[in-house]
Structure 1
Amino acid sequence: MSVIGYLLKEIKRVKWLFLAAVAVYLLASTLVRFAPLILQGLIDGPLTAISKGTTLDQAVFLRELGVYMLMNAFGALGFYASMRLLMFCANGIAEQLRNRAYDVMQRLPISYFDDKPAGKIATRIVNDTETLRTQFYGTLVYAFNNIVRLIFTYGILFYMNATLGFVLLLLIPLYIGIQYAYKKMTDKPMKDFYDARSDVNTQVNETMNGASLIQLFGQEQRVMEEFEATADKMRRADNKIIWAQSIATWNLTEFLKYLVITGILTIVGYQFLKGQSDLSPGRLFVYINYIEGVFIALGALVQQFPNLLRSLETGKRVKGLLEEETEPDSSTELTVTDGQVVFDQVTFAYEAGKPILKDIVIQADKGETIALVGHTGSGKSSIMNLLYRFYDPQEGRVLIDGKNIRDYSRESLRSHMGIVLQDPYLFTGTIASNVAMNEEEADREKIAQSLEKVGAGPMLARLEKGMDEPVVEKGAAFSSGERQLIAFARTLYSDPKILILDEATSHIDTETEEIIQHAMEVVKEGRTTFIIAHRLSTIQNADQILVLDQGRIIERGRHEDLIEQGGVYAQMHDIQSRV
């Protein structure tokens, strides 16, 4: 389906309101377009009679004038009501598009985001849907207005004077030619403009997130130059569009309008002077009124068409996002009682033919702690990605309590997991809302207990508002250790069966590590726990330590056993001990 067809199809979501608006508009248009004919009767009747010395028939005059005024008044009210309804439809469609785009984004596979900047995705959901609201659906409303006006006016002109109607029809091919030339000249600049706008959003997003690194490494000038280059690309593309749009300016429309009106008045004046014209003043007024209406409608369409064209490139991108293939998911809910986790001969690759994990076998029984260690790229995070079901393995199975997680919904699977990352994310709100994750009926006593158990009591004591202390800008006002404590309290509050600690102590100092170690022990109690760690001191009490290298488990056992083996783990431990 074409982009314009796809966007027009969206109108069905508000079809009854849209049809009501159209009906009101057609009624209003009928009243307003036929009103000049009443005025023609006034000019050629009572007013012309006065010029011939006849007494003005006030009753007829006032009656006709009243009808004319009422037709215009009711027409104006109808236009206002219908345009409000049509704009309401446009806003509703844009809102639904935005909501659906956001929903699709949340259901896309994690792999979709691997090579796409956050700024470009944000542009699709925010900027592009807003552009569709203003430049497609908003413009469509006014284009519809002028098309209806054009049809009515041509119909009346043909009824009054078919020759004049045919002559004015010649204007339509002229305007179509202008628009065709405009489209050919702006296809590429429009694509370049919106691509550059997405790049600008991406660069702003990256600069904001990496502001400290940019300043520390003195990259301000380089970043500014890159931004200026992208902004310049956007400016040059827009200049090409503006130059093309100048072809279809109001000046051209006005010139053609006055040219035609001047021609008609010249012919009528010449015929009148020769005594060959039987055209009444009222009829001449109506001709000029309707001819001007034709030009106003055509001129407005010329101005509105570029906005419609601009929005099609935007619509193409929104359509592409909405049609992205989302992850298939089961509706079956996963119930977890023990939290036993098994990786049964799992092989996985992000790209076909390049396996990241090879024949992985892991069994973590209820309450056990499994530690994953290895050099960067050894496959530790990939194992966790499979457990979260961010990806599914190409071979083998991942089982929880003996159930293949592939057969259950991702949401129900993840509801049984608690995750603490090396750099925990805090949402705007309060400490309490972050612990309860904005739960509608949060248990404040349970929140307080969770914070106290993980050792966050001293932190709350120094804060004026305690657990109601505001959290802004990803928790930037808190130290790494404090953010970790809030993340541990969040996990404790959710009471998961399975716990994943992803290098939870890698960003904190030695003194804070003791507090975090205590928090880890509290949260781990009674839960099956996976720990990804670079600091071997944090995993010495693990029930199993798995050493990975190039996607394979090359060593496994307890800390003491692996030290005695004198293998890779022992070498890593020796290096860290000396450091």
Structure 2
Amino acid sequence: MEETTTDKSGNLFDLSILRRLMRFAKPYQGMFYLLIFLTLLLGFSGPIRPYLFQVMIDQQIAAGDYSGLSNMLYILLGLLVVQSGTQYAHTYISGWLGQNVIRDIRVQLYEHILSLRLKFFDRMQIGRLVTRNVSDVETLSNVFSEGLAAMAGDVVQIFFILALMFYSDWELTLVSLSTLPLLLISTYIFKEKIKYAFNDVRTAVSNLNSFVQEHITGMNIVQIFSSEAQEYEKFKEINEVHRKANIQSVLYYSIYYPVAEIIAAIGTGLLVWYGARGVLKEDVTFGTLVAFIMYISMFFRPVRAIADRFNTLQLGVVSTDRIFKLLDNREHIVNGGEHRPAKLKGDVQFKNVWFAYNDADYVLKDISFQVKKGETLALVGATGAGKSSIINLLNRFYEINRGEILLDGVNIREFDLTNLRSHIGLVLQDVFLFSGSIEENITLNNPDISRDRIWEAAELVGARKFIEALPGGLDYKVMERGATLSVGQRQLISFIRAMVYDPQIIILDEATSSVDTETEEMIQNAIEKLMFGRTSIVIAHRLSTIQTANQILVLDKGEIKERGTHEKLLTENGYYAQLHRMQYKEVV
């Protein structure tokens, strides 16, 4: 799904957004106040230079005062040094402040994303989340380095320039600013046009990121179905939208700046024409005319820049608004439980559980069952029957709509979420491995898990030999999603990952369906050792793996259709018996 442009591109004067953004600068308020002081100093030190030139020409040069001229040159040199140092400090501090603020925002945003429930990720494009956490946050740094601070400096400088111009000669000032209305009109038109162009660019970037991320992740599907040409054409379309959006913004810049230069040049021409007449009539001093030429150049530069600063700030407000909308999202599992047992017996009970992913179409309907400590429950059913939903609910990846889920007689909502999941070991069919070492993929950077514990679990699984054979052993660098490992090796690593936490409840979701016979035997041997004394819930299409289960539930469209042991279900000659005959090709 592509992100669309809304009519609301962001409002610079949305004070609620700006105030909230400025709260992130509160820990650095000392540097922020220093930045304000440097902004004022820069705004004053720039315009004072033409005034000093005016005094030097009219008083020292005109009078032949060489001693005074030397002193004035020293003053100008000192002012230049101060201005250069101030400019350096201002640029560095504004950049430093911006980078620290966006670091804090990015950390808070990522922490918030980690807390969101899986239901949120089911409908949100990953590429768009990447854009929020990277591109949109990066845009905020410009709000501090090129937006607020720079705009405030421009405004202060304009104020001081106008004050000195009116103080020196009000008639020359009015003549100099006679073209200002034209510049303000062109600036306003440019601001409005570039505002929407920038928003189109941001939307295009988000869509481009989403498309690239999704299709690189699913590259195997693209190549399996030989759809490279179609996806290439679709990428070209999205990239073309991105190109046009950027060119549109470039077009506005290419029109505005020449127009602004022409308007400024006309203003300077009128100033020289009128001022020269004044010099000839001796109504205006030559120093005043020279100072005004410098003033007008200095004046139009920040006026032109303010339009760009305005749009930088406005773009930052748009990004800030998007970030705050994500931060304000409350689709996270409420971790209000205080029950933190060190160990569980492992009794699991579902009592009249109803669940729907979209709060309307129930995928589990009045599900009730109980698994006692050390027992094994097997879940069987067609795709979409609700098997994985049961696992998701037990881990509180999603919240149930009705009913109760109990562990050792305690509602899982009363458990601390981290504590709850620490007691449950989960091995999925689709194993996800991160870029990093095998050790990091097993421990997930948990410092409490020692290497001895890893090797112990690897020995139990029977994976020690293959890990030791890899270059570096546990330090072997796994490529993204474990591309350099076989399916069986990835499955073994995920199995070790579950075992090192010594859970009291083991969940195997098609854990052996994608491995070869030899690896399956290895895992089955490890499963038997791991499941001893632990509660186990197994999802399997291979009925050979669940024949010894204490209880088998046959699910269909979210309901329990059959339940019992392997032998009992065979005698009932129902769905389970039919599935068993299909797998073993029994003749009826």
TM (norm. structure 2) is: 0.91
CA contact (8 A) 1:128 1:314 kept: yes
Q: How does 1:419-430 map to 2 (within 5 A)?
A: 419-430=426-437
Q: Which residue of 2 aligns with 1:153?
A: 161
C-alpha distance in structure 1 between counterparts of 2:180 and 2:411, whole Å: 66
Letter in 2 for 1:389: R
Distance 1:450 1:213, change over 3 A: same
1:314 maps to which residue? 319
**C-alpha distance in structure 1 between counterparts of 2:43 and 2:192, whole Å:** 34
The correspondence for 1:264, drawn from 259, 268, 271, is 271
- Out of 316, 330, 340, the position equivalent to 1:334 is 340
Checking the alignment, whether the CA contact within 8 Å between 1:39 and 1:65 is kept in structure 2 is no
- The yes-or-no answer on 1:294 pairing with 2:308 is no
1:120–1:198 CA contact under 8 A, matched in 2: yes
Shift in alpha-carbon separation, 1:178–1:100, aligned structure 2, 3 A = farther
Match of residue 558 from structure 2 = 551
The answer on 1:431 being equivalent to 2:438 is yes
The structural deviation recorded for 1:135 is 6.2
Q: Which residue of 1 aligns with 2:44?
A: 30
Aligned counterpart, 2:7: none
Alpha-carbon distance between aligned partners in 2 of 1:549 and 1:149, rounded to the nearest angstrom: 74
Would the aligned equivalents of 1:90 and 1:138 in 2 still touch at CA under 8 Å? Answer: no
| 2:364 and 2:386 in contact (8 A); partners too | yes
Give SS of 2:357's match: strand
CA contact (8 A) 1:183 1:309 kept: no
SS at match of 2:500: helix
1:494 is paired with a residue whose SS is coil
Per the TM alignment, residue 187 of structure 1 is displaced from its structure 2 partner at its CA by: 4.9
Secondary structure at the residue paired with 2:98?
A: helix
Asked whether the equivalents of residues 248 and 302 of structure 1 are also in contact (C-alpha less than 8 Å), the reply is: no
| Residue 374 of structure 1: how far off its partner (Å) | 0.5
RMSD: 2.2
Structure 1 residue ranges without an equivalent (≥5):
51-55
Q: 1:76 to 1:184 in 2, by over 3 A?
A: closer
2:481 aligned with 1:474: yes
Change (3 A) 1:378 1:265: same
Q: Distance in 2 between matches of 1:566 and 1:446?
A: 46
Gaps of 5+ in 2: 1-9
Aligned to 1:364: 371
What's the offset of the Cα at 1:441? 5.1
Could you tell me whether the CA contact under 8 Å between 1:488 and 1:520 is conserved in 2? no
Percent identity between the aligned chains?
Answer: 35
- SS of the aligned residue for 2:355 comes to strand
| Residue 125 of structure 1: how far off its partner (Å) | 0.7
Aligned residues of 1:83 and 1:141 also touching (Cα < 8 A): no
**What SS is found at the alignment partner of 1:366?**
coil
The whole-number CA distance in structure 2 between the counterparts of 1:456 and 1:15 is 55
- Give the alignment partner of residue 228 of structure 2, picking from 207, 211, 220: 220
Separation of aligned partners in 2, 1:386 and 1:171: 69
Equivalent position of 2:123 in the other structure: 115
1:408 partnered with 2:419: no
Structure 2 residue aligned with 1:53: none
Determine if contact 1:347/1:359 at 8 Å carries over to the other structure.
yes
Aligned to 1:241: 249
Matched with 1:566 is 573
Bigger shift: residues 507-516 or 117-126: 507-516
1:210 aligns with 2:218: yes
- Asked whether the 8 Å contact 1:190–1:313 carries over to 2, the reply is no
Q: Which amino acid aligns with 1:47?
A: I
Closer, same or farther in 2 for the Cα pair 1:168/1:311, shift >3 Å?
Answer: farther
CA distance in structure 2 between the partners assigned to 1:401 and 1:577 by the alignment: 38
Q: Are positions 1:15 and 2:29 aligned together?
A: yes
Letter in 2 for 1:45: Q
Give the partner amino acid of 1:542: A
Aligned letter for 2:70?
L
Other structure's SS at 1:423 match? coil
Structure 1 Cα separation of the partners of residues 307 and 472 of structure 2: 60
What residue is the counterpart of 2:460 in the other structure?
Answer: 453
Structure 1-normalised TM-score? 0.93
Aligned-pair distance for 1:546? 0.7
Aligned partners of 1:544, 1:563: CA distance in 2, in Å?
Answer: 13
1:46 is the counterpart of 2:60: yes
Q: Which amino acid in 2 is paired with 1:315?
A: T
| Secondary structure of the corresponding residue to residue 484 of structure 2 | coil
- Alignment partner of 1:65 out of 51, 73, 92: 73
Whole-angstrom CA distance in 2 between matches of 1:169 and 1:563: 96
Q: 420, 425, 431: which one pairs with 1:418?
A: 425
**Structure-2 change in CA distance of 1:164 and 1:512 (3 Å):** same
Shift of 1:24: 2.5
Deviations 1:11-63 (A, max 9, x none): 3323321111111332343233323323322211221123xxxxx442x3322
Counterpart residue number, 1:126: 134
Matched, 1:391 2:398: yes
